[in-house]
A and B are shown apart, each in its own frame.
Chain A
């Protein structure tokens, strides 16, 4: 079946540094990808998305990169702040399962003072 995985379960960064969170996906037919942020005790919150016809998309302090050749997705957070501490999930949507997202297991980002 489809799977979305993350390379690292935890990531610690110093406040002010840039963070990079990685994600591998297995379904080459997936054409839409989302990054979510989940703070402790809360539901996931949409951060940024990207379609397969793009390889980069930028938001406010965040950038998502998509490498379809190696089926790899990354989230870059610039000038990481304490409020960025959370679990980050990638999710993919394929045309064969148009109504269903497949989520990765998540990476815990901890911002150190």
Chain B
């Protein structure tokens, strides 16, 4: 998990509460991604940012918003949390838009929505 940090590591929310997941990378990569991982399933892309100032929807964007604050930081916000958003969230940063061979993942945020 070199180079990608996430906060918090664990979070419990009540339905309707909001929160922001933080991600930062120190590898000077342009691209940053947010995934969610549900039990027994592979990672699914929520949003990504190909470069500072740009964001695009992934496979499962509903209920989320993102902000690419600067080149280092990419945050994911849940405005009104729902139990269906209980998951493990991973931030990732590949070397480029196709540099997945050097994609580093953060340690994950384990979110429970009651």
Contacts and interface: CB of A to CB of B under 8 A. Distances in A.
Given A4-B42, A100-B45, A46 B107 contact: no
Contacts of B92: 43
A103 B102 contact: no
Contact of A44 (B41, B58, B90): B90
A14 B56 CA distance: 44
Most chain A Cβ neighbours within 10 Å, of B90, B103, B107: B103
Given A34-B101, A42-B108, A46-B102, A101 B45 contact: yes
Contact of B97 (A41, A43, A89, A99): A99
- Which bracket fits the contact residues of B? 20 to 34
Contacts of A91: 42-43, 100
Interface residues of A, number: 23
A106 B44 CA distance: 13
Given A100-B59, A103-B44, A32 B105 contact: no
Nearest to B40: A105
B48 A98 contact: no
Interface string A89-109: 101010000111111111000
Contact of B105 (A34, A41, A44, A102): A44
A90 to B, nearest CB: 9
A43 B1 contact: yes
A45 B2 CA distance: 10
20 contacts: A9-B40, A42-B108, A43-B1, A43-B4, A43-B90, A43-B108, A44-B43, A44-B90, A44-B105, A46-B103, A91-B42, A91-B100, A93-B100, A98-B98, A99-B31, A99-B97, A102-B42, A103-B43, A104-B42, A105-B41
Interface of B: 1, 4, 31, 40-45, 48, 50, 56, 58-59, 90, 92, 97-98, 100-103, 105-108
Please provide the 9 A-B residue pairs with the shortest distance between their CB atoms, ordered closest to farther: A103-B42, A43-B105, A103-B43, A105-B42, A104-B42, A49-B101, A44-B105, A105-B41, A43-B90
